[in-house]
Chains A and B, each alone.
Chain A
């Protein structure tokens, strides 16, 4: 019983009180909250009036442009803007992402970031991570240009964008890289079938990482994510090798198989090998079509880690509705950077890919 999940379950059970506080405290708390709101409403009439005026021009939640000064229509394509580039000086606050639309700039403040500021006189830099809540209804919209250019205040950064279709239950997501068109300016093309999307930009560079989002009604189809699969079994730090309950994750298949099975064979460098069974896990109601998740037990994983020295060769026999696919990977060669112990599997024959109709 050394699986982390089991141990956490026991830990949380020990921390769970037998009886909650009386429910009346919740009701009293709500009453206090209402009183505070009422007091705030009386004192803040002028503020509310100003907010209503702003809301009427910003149309929160729509994908219409949010900054006045140009027509609220789709722009056919990005054009080389005559406006000067935005400016940003490296500080403890992350750079904004500035959407450079044909008729205006839209500044997006990252809602989630880890950011290292410049060193002070003593040579010490300040690092800060923050997670915000970016509600879709609060996001800026860009209309329906054929592509979107954006600017970031630091050079040598890389961005990718995840497109999530709006108005669809448990939608597939598509992720594409943004293309550099100058040191600090990027171009983004649509991904997935044409439609109305929330676009989550994720950027990474020496100073950290940032996430910023906007809404975009894409006028044309773009590429869809290709099927991908990972295995997690062992990982290590220096000479120490750790075993994890085996997991196989498969995403972006063409369809949701009715029956699926994954069997793992791990082989150490000395040729000793063993086979590990996994079970298909149910992951709740909202899991994008074409996704599978298998998990096995911790104890066999411990045995696998003790087969012999690395590198370990993994072979995953994946059966989808009766058809077999063989995935292979070598640890540590194929371990994903920043995502250990997840290791990329390559399949033969290739997994069936989804294409937008």
Chain B
């Protein structure tokens, strides 16, 4: 926040606290959402929506030991829901005989294209499970809590995701030896 700039009318005390968390956590949240969703623009939009919800619930969430975990949960749910709506729309366009836009894998120069392409081939709900479980070291129960699905569903998505990514890891192992 720049001190010499006029603040919006509804800028309150909670806004300062959320602004500080935003500066600290938003970039990594965008990275996580880009890995899951495959698209930077969507990730930034969803991250901002999640921070809007954080502003609205700061009275309660501000007392939590880990507001970032709350934020991550909300953001991942928003992203999965958004992607699913898009898939439904894409199916509708397909039925109408129009070509639906598809997201390119989330990687660029110097980045892990193999992993990005392998992730892009997984359905978004499977991708979310794999990334949350392996990246954030969350338990199956915690991932189930974030995505609001039964633990059996998480286990089976994790299993399918791992099987799909296993050839990629095996390739890397072969290259390394």
* Mask of B108-135 contacts with A, CB within 8 angstroms, 1/0: 1011100110000001010000110011
Residues facing A in B25-69 (CB within 8 A) are: 26-28, 30-32, 34-35, 40, 44, 47-49, 51-52, 55-56, 65-66, 69
Closest-CB distance, A81 to chain B (whole angstroms): 28
Residues facing A in B1-31 (CB within 8 A) are: 1, 8, 10-11, 15, 18-19, 22-23, 26-28, 30-31
Contact A2 B172 (CB under 8 A): yes
Closest-CB distance, B132 to chain A (whole angstroms): 10
Contact A202 B32 (CB under 8 A): no
B15 interface neighbour in A27, A131, A200, A242, Cβ under 8 Å: A27
Contact A15 B147 (CB under 8 A): no
With CB as the reference atom, state the residue of chain A lying closest to B16. A23
Closest-CB distance, B65 to chain A (whole angstroms): 7
Closest-CB distance, A182 to chain B (whole angstroms): 25
Which secondary structure characterizes the binding site on chain A?
A: mixed
Contact B138 A283 (CB under 8 A): yes
A70 contacts partner chain B, Cβ-Cβ < 8 Å: no
B89 contacts partner chain A, Cβ-Cβ < 8 Å: no
For the complex, what is the distance from the CA of A342 to the CA of B111, rounded to whole Å?
A: 31
CB neighbours (8 Å) of B47 from chain A are: 20
Given known pairs A16-B31, A285-B66, A286-B142, the reply for A131 and B170 (CB within 8 Å) is no
Of the listed residues A2, A5, A10, A341, the one surrounded by the most CB atoms of chain B closer than 10 A to its CB is A2
A272 contacts partner chain B, Cβ-Cβ < 8 Å: no
Contact A202 B19 (CB under 8 A): no
B111 interface neighbour in A15, A31, A130, A237, Cβ under 8 Å: A15
With CB as the reference atom, state the residue of chain B lying closest to A242. B166
CB neighbours (8 Å) of B163 from chain A are: 235, 237, 242, 340
For the complex, what is the distance from the CA of A12 to the CA of B22, rounded to whole Å?
A: 18
CB neighbours (8 Å) of A21 from chain B are: 26, 44, 48
CB neighbours (8 Å) of A237 from chain B are: 163
A-B contact count (CB 8 A): 181
Size of A's binding interface in residues, CB under 8 A: 64
Contact B55 A26 (CB under 8 A): yes
CB neighbours (8 Å) of B139 from chain A are: 283-284, 287, 291, 293
A131 interface neighbour in B27, B30, B65, B148, Cβ under 8 Å: B148
Given known pairs A11-B116, A12-B31, the reply for A287 and B141 (CB within 8 Å) is yes
* Mask of A104-118 contacts with B, CB within 8 angstroms, 1/0: 000000011000000
* Mask of B129-155 contacts with A, CB within 8 angstroms, 1/0: 011001101111110010111111101
CB neighbours (8 Å) of B106 from chain A are: 15
Contact A8 B125 (CB under 8 A): no
Contact A11 B115 (CB under 8 A): yes
Closest-CB distance, B69 to chain A (whole angstroms): 8
With CB as the reference atom, state the residue of chain B lying closest to A160. B152
CB neighbours (8 Å) of A12 from chain B are: 28, 31-32, 34-35, 131, 135
CB neighbours (8 Å) of B112 from chain A are: 7, 10-11, 14
Contact A242 B170 (CB under 8 A): yes
CB neighbours (8 Å) of B34 from chain A are: 12, 15
For the complex, what is the distance from the CA of A23 to the CA of B125, rounded to whole Å?
A: 29
Contact A15 B31 (CB under 8 A): yes
B-contacting residues of A (Cβ < 8 Å)?
Answer: 2, 4-5, 7-21, 23-31, 33-34, 111-112, 129-134, 162, 200, 202, 209, 211, 235, 237, 240, 242, 244, 249, 281, 283-288, 291, 293, 298, 302, 338-342
19 contacts between A and B (CB under 8 A): A2-B176, A7-B115, A12-B31, A12-B135, A13-B31, A14-B31, A17-B40, A20-B30, A30-B10, A131-B125, A133-B148, A134-B148, A202-B150, A240-B167, A242-B169, A287-B142, A288-B141, A339-B156, A340-B163
Kindly list the 9 A-B residue pairs having the minimum CB-CB distance in the complex, ordered from nearest. A16-B31, A20-B26, A242-B166, A15-B34, A283-B139, A15-B31, A5-B134, A12-B31, A338-B156
